[in-house]
Amino acid sequence: MPEFIKFNLDKQSVEVPGTRTPDATGHYRHAAYGDALVSNIREAPQLKTLYDIWQHSVTKYADNDFLGHRPFNIVAQTYGGYSWETFRQINQRVNAFGSGVMHLNEVILGNPKLNRWALGIWSHGRPEWFISEMSCNCYNLVSVALYDTLGPDAVEYIVNHAEIEIVVSSANHIAAILENSDKLPNIKAIISMDALHDSVPVPGATSASQVLRAWGAQKGIKVYDFNEIESLGRDFPRKHIPPTADEVASLCYTSGTTGQPKGAMLTHKNFVATIGTNREGMIFTQDDVLISFLPLAHIMGRVIDTIAMYSGSKIGYFRGDILLLLDDITELRPTFFPAVPRLLNRIYAKLVSSTIEAPGLVGALARRGVATKMANMAAGKGVHHALWDRILFNKVKMALGGRVQVILTGSAPIAKEVLGFLRIAFCCEVLEGYGSTEGMATATITMPDEYIPGHIGCPRAGCELKLVDVPAMNYHSTDQPYPRGEIWIRGDTVFKGYYKDEKNTRETIDSEGWFATGDIGFVDNRGCFTIIDRKKNIFKLAQGEYIAPEKIENILGARCNLIQQIYVHGDSLESTLVSIVVPEPETFLPFANLIAGASVTADDIEGLSKLCMDPKVKAAVTKELEKAGKAGALRGFEFVKRVHLTTDAFSVDNSMMTPTFKVRRPQVAEYFKGQIKAMYEDINATTPVAKL
């Protein structure tokens, strides 16, 4: 089970003396590391690269189970339980696959560049993903993850920008690569993670794999499967080419809400510093089991898996379908559950409806149990209660397999009431982290046993933060009672820069190594940071008030369980905000049916659309958003005055979302411009004109 290092909750970070400047606070560091930042793994300082770390783990944990997946039975059409491979077995496959890829590149494809070239990886998490990435570390290649949800335009850009010639892909993406091969002139080979040796059921018939290989040959692209490359590597083994600490291990492309993705250059030193930093708060052990479902193209998922690898923990991959995740969790019974607010909000909504909002005796008992445990937690007495856990919460814990000790959330804000409820419901630590791709998802985190919700914790052991004035938004480091400003981060976890992009690199990292995040925050008297605004995507309303729509969306989305997706719109010619809301069917249907006196079911798409258009339902949802806004301490001008309900969800396919599920604001505004115009016309028609 994870082991925690306990720190003083009343003094979590300190300001380094003599570091203040006229336009910024001093440098804030974790209180226990005020004298020096952590830049390596302190119990193993000899480990400088991901290659070193892998060799260390293989030696130390050779015969321990490491990577697990649920194999699919083609005959029965069902998934089995988790099947495991040890560190030693995975290492043998890494050596074989890495040798095979090197032989393919040099001998078969005739590429004179023997190392430092980019290998593309396109799939959800699975053992072959790890093997592909670790092969890069063993042979000094650069891994480039392609998002499993990326649209064709972004894939095309990244493959060409990183000059990728070989892509390792799950079989479901191969057709897309071949279909767009005319736009991907660098691609010379595709390696399928899935077997391509399917038998031909009818004499003379052509198998799917034969079609793919023939299609590839027609396009001038060789198509192999993973087993073939491993076999090739066993026939032609290669010596490792160990990288150095400052060399780039991976290009991690960030999906911007506007413009093309930017390739963050993440070095081996960045990864090592991140592992060392994270182990200064929570230590994984050989007994830990991680459920891996976060996209490995995103840095948060990759960092967590890498820490587990160093620690000798087991990593069980989900099947690739988020709708089946809870079934995978029940089968795996993890001790560590990394998540994102979007998923935790849905879990929270289901738990609330089945406990404190349940009718009769169940609801009455649940409300009493929750109130008792929340009061205990607020008093610093922890998240356990002998009576109420036995009566109620031990059953709730089984929803995540019953063994979860830690839930980690990050990537977006989450409401403090959700955090508190999950802590007492699952009787475990729920930690909230803050970071970004450029900083290896590592900047701040809440401490174990934290009893005051609503902040993102203190700086990590390897990071220091400062708040820089943003005069245009009226945020200053001299503000009272707490300093406010843009959060800047420095440490060995901060990336090297953007690949082939000096302009954006200079705008993001200054000459002293500080990374400007674009997030606005304050630091309180305990040394805890809270994000309150966003420097980008801001605009003024007609009366001159600055609006940060993403902040409002996060507050409303976290506190109103009727929302699946939300877009908040404002205009410098208007004095109010309006919103586009995609409702969450599970919670919206009973709510809307009650308002409209209807009985629409989940499979009635036409009925759901009619509920969305019902004026009474719109008005009721607007009131719910008002309640959520008050709970989230929004200011008067930040409340939305009208809502348009729609079943047209924002997605990557319709270009209204990035692959990391961020709203593409211009595209959404354009798509719904008619509805937005109608909402403002209604507001202006019903708002009394002030007398002169």
117 vs 352, residue with greater confidence: 117
pLDDT at 300 over 60: yes
pLDDT average, residue stretch 584-592: 91
The pTM of the full predicted model, rounded to 2 decimals, is 0.83
Mean pLDDT, to the nearest integer, of 52-56? 98
Neighbours of 132 (CB within 10 A): 29
Tokens 């093997």 locate to 131
How much of the chain is in helix, strand and coil states, percent to nearest 5?
40, 20, 40
Tens of pLDDT along 34-48? Answer: 999 999 999 999 999
Per-residue pLDDT at 364 exceeds 80: yes
pLDDT at 691: 29
pLDDT-derived band of residue 152, with 50, 70 and 90 as boundaries? low
| Strand order across the 13-15 sheet | 13-15, 28-30, 464-468, 484-490, 515-523, 529-534
Judged against a pLDDT cut of 90, whether residue 105 lies above it is answered with yes
- Residue of 94 and 113 predicted with greater confidence: 94
Q: Is the dihedral of CA 156, 159, 160, 166 positive or negative?
A: negative
Q: Is residue 488 scored above 50 in pLDDT?
A: yes
* pLDDT, tens digit (0-9, with 9 covering 90-100), for 627-684: 999 988 888 889 999 999 999 999 877 888 876 667 888 789 889 999 999 999 899 8
pLDDT at 689 over 90: no
Question: What's the confidence (pLDDT) of residue 352?
Answer: 87
pLDDT score at 692: 23
Domains of the chain: 3-41+335-534 (2.30.38.10), 87-243+293-307 (3.40.50.12780), 539-686 (3.30.300.30)
Nearest-angstrom CA–CA distance, 345 and 264: 30
Q: Identify whether the C-beta of residue 268 lies closer than 8 Å to the C-beta of residue 47.
A: no
Place of tokens 């496959």: 93
pLDDT tens figures, 126-148: 999 999 999 999 999 999 999 76
Statement: residue 363 has pLDDT above 60:
yes
* Percentage above 90 pLDDT, the chain: 68
Q: What tokens appear for 133 in the block? A: 């990435």
Position 559 scores a pLDDT of 86
Which of these ranges, 370-384, 395-409, 611-625, 649-663, has the smallest mean pLDDT?
649-663
How many beta carbons lie within 10 A of that of residue 71, not counting itself? 11
Query: What pLDDT, in 10s, does the model give residues 557-583?
Result: 888 989 999 999 998 778 899 999 999
Residue 690 amino acid letter: A
Confidence band for 194, pLDDT divided at 50, 70 and 90: very high
Query: Does residue 202 carry a pLDDT above 70?
Result: no
Please state, for a pLDDT cut of 70, what percent of the chain lies above it.
95
pLDDT at 200: 45
Residue 255 is predicted with a pLDDT of: 62
Chain mean pLDDT for the chain: 90
The tens digit of pLDDT for each residue in 303-316 reads 999 999 999 999 99
The two structure tokens encoding residue 160: 């060409």
- pLDDT greater than 70 at residue 296: yes
pLDDT band, residue 204 (cuts 50/70/90): low
The torsion angle over the Cα atoms of residues 174, 179, 185 and 187, rounded to 10 degrees, is 10
251 token code pair: 């290009």
pLDDT of residue 687: 65
